[in-house]
């Protein structure tokens, strides 16, 4: 019976001026099982999704291919009301790094990722805000939208706020350096060329309003994606500079991001470190694996690929990276490509299967959403996905952190450990660190 029912999508562009802070205040006052906050690095677009309309996954871990099928099923039954367009229909979420089902871990309800069609979506582009509501009858969507507009007009601005972090402890550096040394030996002795090894850290946090922490993230880490994904009692927060894939049905943009140096303390030191990075053979090699793998994959899909031979520098507040933007045109099956791309050698290695098997063996914990695709797809086939690095997940008062580094033949364990420490500092910047 339900199968044949229509699904109603009601969208309205807000006519009164509502700020991002007010929208987030509304979120903080309306608890729900799943929330997704997303902002592009240029801060021109925010998508804030509330609640689950459908999330019909029978098998774990979830992936975006299943998600796309779900979105298509909703599309097939969609009745658009008022200003609704197919692009207002969204699929959001993140999948777990590993494609194999895993034993339960501390990731709780995010153990296998979470991908869903939300019930309410606010999409802010510049000053314009569209609010979309999905439901089973036109009355329910009209009533819900009306209520949201009334509630929103009463919301005061939510402001950025950090949480206190105590008992911060990185997983054993000496053990990790031994794992790096082992990876280097494996690279010399086998077909493995590169593997990205992750390190974990742990801490305890005071209770915090997660939307206020997301605001803190965008203040402290400009130029990155700002993402919050909450599922029940688990919240994933991420300020990643790494785009995995942005696509429309006929063009895409991705990037190779690999090769890292710490930022300098003065503009002069910054400049000289960047110059060293640009010419450093180890970092250039680490980077080239990612470029080569992405370009080969896109060519194999029959796309016309465009990229520069010389990497640029991308700066975050704590590190500088080698970055090669890559564009391609042609008929794009974005989700199929996404599945082929993940994990790129920026998070997995070369050859991929050998690298993933090794990192799974050597890392002390399961990655969960760390390093995995996280993003959104809409009803006209446009999607954008980032890589879940510079991130933490929070559950109760427990916080878990992740930072990885690309290991190649001439990697020096102590230097790689220092690099991961600098990478931890991105997400740590949103906390008041009390000790440790």
Ligand X SMILES: C=C(O[C@H]1C=CC=C(C(=O)O)[C@@H]1O)C(=O)O
Binding-site residue total for ligand X (CB under 6 A)? Answer: 16
347 lines the binding site for ligand X (CB under 6 A): yes
Within 13 Å and on the Cβ side, how many CA atoms surround 358?
Answer: 28
DSSP string computed for 238-264:
E----EEEEE-SSEEEEEEEEEEEEPP
User: Is 242 an interacting residue with respect to ligand X (CB under 6 A)?
Assistant: yes
Q: Tell me the closest approach of the beta carbon of residue 389 to ligand X, in angstroms.
A: 4
The total of other beta-carbon atoms located within 10 Å of residue 58's CB is 6
Cα–Cα distance, 101 to 98 (Å, whole number): 8
DSSP result, 335-359: HHHHHHHSSPTTTSEESHHHHHHHH
Does residue 403 interact with ligand X by CB under 6 A? yes
205 belongs to the binding site for ligand X (CB under 6 A): no
Among 375, 404, 421, 429, binds ligand X (CB under 6 A): 404
Choice between 373 and 379, CB closer to ligand X: 373
- Nearest distance, CB of residue 431 and ligand X, angstroms: 17
The Cα 153–Cα 17 span in angstroms is: 9
What is the number of the residue whose Cβ is closest to ligand X?
Answer: 404
| One of 14, 78, 196, 277 touching ligand X (CB under 6 A) | 196
The number of residues making up the chain comes to 436
In the complex, the smallest distance separating the C-beta of residue 321 from ligand X, rounded to whole angstroms, is 5
Q: Which is nearer to ligand X, 120 or 244 (CB)?
A: 244
State the CB neighbour count (10 A cutoff) for residue 44: 10
Q: Which is nearer to ligand X, 118 or 368 (CB)?
A: 368
Minimum Å gap between C-beta 29 and ligand X is 34
Q: Are strands 7-13 and 78-82 parallel, antiparallel or unpaired?
A: parallel
Q: Which of these ranges, 89-97, 114-122, 251-259, 304-312, lies near ligand X under the rule CB under 6 A?
A: 251-259
From the CB of 158, what's the least distance to ligand X, in Å? 28
Any contact of residue 389 with ligand X (CB under 6 A)? yes
- CA–CA–CA angle 323, 289, 282 (5° rounding): 80
Q: Which is nearer to ligand X, 94 or 259 (CB)?
A: 259
Take residue 375 and report the two structure tokens written for it. Answer: 């993003």
Please, which residues bridge with residue 262 across strands? 319
CB of 260 to ligand X, least distance (A): 4
Contact predicate 393/195, CB 8 Å: no
Name the residue among 385, 427, 386 with its Cα closest to residue 403: 427
Question: Where on the chain is the footprint of ligand X (CB under 6 A)?
Answer: 196, 242, 257-260, 321, 346-347, 389-390, 403-406, 423
């Amino acid at each position: 019976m339900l199968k044949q029912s229509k699904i109603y999508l009601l969208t309205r562009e807000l006519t009164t001026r509502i700020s991002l802070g007010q929208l987030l205040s509304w979120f903080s006052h309306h608890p729900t099982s799943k929330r997704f906050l997303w902002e592009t690095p240029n801060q021109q677009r925010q998508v804030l999704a509330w609640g689950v309309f459908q999330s019909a996954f029978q098998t774990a871990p979830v992936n975006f291919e299943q998600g796309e099928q779900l979105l298509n099923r909703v599309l097939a039954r969609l009745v658009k009301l008022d200003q609704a367009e197919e692009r207002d229909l969204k699929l959001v979420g993140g999948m777990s790094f590993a494609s194999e089902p895993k034993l339960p871990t501390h990731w709780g309800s995010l153990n296998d990722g979470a991908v869903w069609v939300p019930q309410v979506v606010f999409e802010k582009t510049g000053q314009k805000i569209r609010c979309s509501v999905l439901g089973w009858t036109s009355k329910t969507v009209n009533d819900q939208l009306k209520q949201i507009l009334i509630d929103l007009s009463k919301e005061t601005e939510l402001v950025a706020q950090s949480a206190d972090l105590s008992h911060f402890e990185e997983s054993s550096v000496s053990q990790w350096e031994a794992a790096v040394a082992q990876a280097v030996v494996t690279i010399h002795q086998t077909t493995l060329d590169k593997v990205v090894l992750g390190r974990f850290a742990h801490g305890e946090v005071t209770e915090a309003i997660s939307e206020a922490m997301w605001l803190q993230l965008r203040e402290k880490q400009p130029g990155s994606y700002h993402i919050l994904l909450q599922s029940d009692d688990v919240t994933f927060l991420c300020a990643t500079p790494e785009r995995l894939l942005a696509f429309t049905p006929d063009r895409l943009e991705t990037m190779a991001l690999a090769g890292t140096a710490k930022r300098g303390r003065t503009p002069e030191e910054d400049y000289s470190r960047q110059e060293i990075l640009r010419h450093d053979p180890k970092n250039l090699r680490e980077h080239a694996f990612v470029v080569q793998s992405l370009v080969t994959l896109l060519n194999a899909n029959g796309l016309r690929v465009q990229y520069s031979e010389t990497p640029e520098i991308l700066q975050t507040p704590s590190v500088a990276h080698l970055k090669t933007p890559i564009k391609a045109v042609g008929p794009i099956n974005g989700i199929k490509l996404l599945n082929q791309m993940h994990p790129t050698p920026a998070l997995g290695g070369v050859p991929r299967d050998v690298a993933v098997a090794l990192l799974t063996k050597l890392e002390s914990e399961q990655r969960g959403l760390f390093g995995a695709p996280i993003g959104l797809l809409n009803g006209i086939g446009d999607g954008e996905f980032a890589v879940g690095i510079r991130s933490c997940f929070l559950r109760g008062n427990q916080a878990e952190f992740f930072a990885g580094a690309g290991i190649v033949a001439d990697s020096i364990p102590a230097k790689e450990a220092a690099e991961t420490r600098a990478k931890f500092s991105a997400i740590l910047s949103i906390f008041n660190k009390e000790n440790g």
